Amino acid sequence: MNILEAMQRRHSVRQYTDRPIPSEVREILQREIDQCNRESGLHLQLVCDEPAAFSGAMARYGRFTGVQNYIAVVGAKAPDLEERAGFYGERVVLLAQQLGLNTCWVALTFSKRKARFTLDEGEKLVLVIALGYGATQGAPHRSKSMSQLTRCDGPMPDWFRRGAEYALLAPTAVNQQKFLLELTGDRTVRATALRGGYARLDLGIVKYHFLQAAGQENFTWE
Ligand SMILES: Cc1cc2nc3c(=O)[nH]c(=O)nc-3n(C[C@H](O)[C@H](O)[C@H](O)COP(=O)(O)O)c2cc1C
């Protein structure tokens, strides 16, 4: 499965089977997480065989069952922490999808108190990403249209259209899709977070999707 197929097939999954993640799969995820941490300065942590974070009232309210693994998204407080968390977290999410796992970004419906993670000086937990073998593969979300989420004067280049199509597949908090992608020059793109909770985190996720589908060689971010 290539990364474009992973973006097409990824849907949030909230019910998991008790199948553990095999050690060789954990190692591949851990290597990618280590690489993301080196590149981003984040402190992403893979937590396996830990059911407590998803065993309380909040997880029940969110209808999560069987979650035993998650990625704790941790980083030092900074103005761009949320956007980086989204960008690099989605990179791990899409690798997980390629490895046959399912995921769900979770900001609210888990127990922060019971979750297992470490914080270094100045760091905070942004949110977690549930991980495991889903009881289902989830379902496609309803999406706003291309014309609502993009702006482009004149003919739309193929690479921009492709990037935007895959950006529409990105997970966003409560499926809010509060972002705008604008072609501002021949090969420059402005990505803006509109008002909404977690909109900056969503923007990082959306930018990762756009970049993978549009191709790094075709444009630069404004
Ligand atoms: C930043 C962020 C926070 C989220 N928080 C929660 C959450 O607390 N509980 C939950 O059930 N889903 C949560 N989600 C999952 C979204 O509801 C889901 O991504 C959205 O409905 C789109 O569906 P899809 O992921 O299947 O495409 C979150 C997603 C994002 C990106």
Pocket test for ligand 1, best of 63, 84, 128, 172 (most atoms within 8 A of CB): 172
Pair (122, 185) in one structural domain: no
Residue 97 structure tokens: 């999808």
The count of domains in the chain is 2
Q: What is the CATH number of the domain that holds 23?
A: 3.40.109.10
Degrees, nearest 5: CA angle 106-25-63 = 25
The per-residue pLDDT for 75 is 98
Pair (48, 118) in one structural domain: yes
| 10-residue averages of pLDDT along the chain (222 residues) | 98 98 98 98 98 96 97 98 98 98 98 98 98 98 98 96 98 98 97 96 98 98 97
Chain CA centroid to CA 105, Å: 6
Domain that holds residue 47: 3-132
The per-residue pLDDT for 218 is 98
Those residues whose C-beta lies under 8 Å from the C-beta of residue 8, and which sit 6 or more positions away, are 169
Pair (123, 23) in one structural domain: yes
End-to-end CA separation in angstroms for the chain = 31
Whether 137 is covered by a domain: the verdict is no
Pair (114, 160) in one structural domain: no
- β-strands 45-47, 69-76 pairing: antiparallel
Pair (128, 22) in one structural domain: yes
Final residue before a domain boundary, out of 132, 163, 193: 132
Whether 166 is covered by a domain: the verdict is yes
Q: Contact at 8 Å (CB) between 140 and 76?
A: no
DSSP, collapsed to helix, strand or coil, labels residue 76 as strand
Determine whether the shortest distance from the Cβ of 109 to ligand 1 is under 6 A. Answer: yes
Pair (84, 175) in one structural domain: no
Whether 222 is covered by a domain: the verdict is no
Determine whether the shortest distance from the Cβ of 193 to ligand 1 is under 6 A. Answer: no
The per-residue pLDDT for 126 is 98
Phi, psi dihedral angles at 40 (to 5 degrees): -105, -20
Pair (128, 150) in one structural domain: no
Q: How far is the CA of 13 from the centre of ligand 1 (A)?
A: 9
Determine whether the shortest distance from the Cβ of 173 to ligand 1 is under 6 A. Answer: yes
Whether 128 is covered by a domain: the verdict is yes
Whether 139 is covered by a domain: the verdict is no
List the helix and strand counts (H, then E) for the chain: 7, 8
Taking the CA of residue 205 as reference, the ligand 1 atom at the shortest distance is 31
Pair (86, 38) in one structural domain: yes
Whether 112 is covered by a domain: the verdict is yes
Q: Contact at 8 Å (CB) between 132 and 46?
A: no
Q: Which of 58, 54, 56, 36 is nearest to 45 (CA)?
A: 36
The per-residue pLDDT for 94 is 98
* DSSP structural state of residue 134: B
Q: Contact at 8 Å (CB) between 192 and 206?
A: no
Determine whether the shortest distance from the Cβ of 62 to ligand 1 is under 6 A. Answer: yes
- β-strands 220-221, 102-106 pairing: unpaired
Determine whether the shortest distance from the Cβ of 104 to ligand 1 is under 6 A. Answer: yes
Pair (45, 124) in one structural domain: yes
Pair (36, 81) in one structural domain: yes
Final residue before a domain boundary, out of 99, 132, 165: 132
Whether 221 is covered by a domain: the verdict is no
125, β-bridge pairs: 74
Q: What is the CATH number of the domain that holds 193?
A: 3.40.109.30
Pair (56, 124) in one structural domain: yes
Q: What is the pTM (predicted TM-score) of this model?
A: 0.98
The per-residue pLDDT for 207 is 98
208, β-bridge pairs: none
Amino acid at 159: W
Final residue before a domain boundary, out of 101, 132, 163: 132
The per-residue pLDDT for 65 is 98
